[in-house]
Amino acid sequence: MGQIIERLAIERGHEIVAKYNSQHPFNAKSCLEADVAIEFSSPELAVEHLKSCIEKKIPVVTGTTGWYSHYDYIKTHCHNHDSAIFSATNFSLGVNLFFEMSKRLTSLMNNQPYTLSIEEIHHTEKKDAPSGTAITLAENVIAASNTLKNWDLTNDKLSSDSEDQSILPIKALRIEGVPGTHVLQFESDVDTIKLEHEAKSRLGFAIGAIVAAEWIVGKTGVFGMRDLLNFEN
């Protein structure tokens, strides 16, 4: 992702003033001056990266997932330092349209005889499961549902007719070379309805991250894709 973002940013006329990776890691003492930072790392590193950017008052865009248990802390830290952060589990325009459609379809299916499930497929290098995108999808579906209360990763779990109907099951698969596929399925005794998004490459994610970085410069606050795309509630 970093290499793709760098190439596209330069093509759009931006200057890359610093790069950090596993060979040249970022830390709180790193001397950094920039208009904006883009952070795609790993769950165990993201919080300190975000904290450092916030304290340096550098607006930061992050696409790392798996750190959201610390979200409230980062949000408060951002407000306390009058800084800016833009976070998204997925920067693809298509995925965010998929999120909106999933909420609408779930709302239409309330009180209908269908059971819901989610399946996500990613490349084998992806560390967190389920994906942040699948979690966001699940949260949107649950918010629009009359019966679902929570989600659960169901890999390696035996299905049962007595399963809790308030739980939305998520199955996470890791297959080499798959950029990202997410399926929301509605199953009944007589038919199946599927809403699916399949990423063809990581290009869409990179473009979205750069657009978000361009958008957040000069702003303060905590933002996400709904702010950028101006979706109506």
Q: Which positions are annotated as active-site residues?
A: 122, 126
Tokens of 199: 């990423």
Q: Which helix (H) or strand (E) holds 84?
A: strand 84-87
Strand intervals (E) in 10-75: 37-39, 60-62
Strand intervals (E) in 145-210: 150-153, 167-174, 181-187, 192-198
**Pairing verdict, β 37-39 and 60-62:** parallel
Residue from 177, 97, 171, 176 nearest 140 by CA: 97
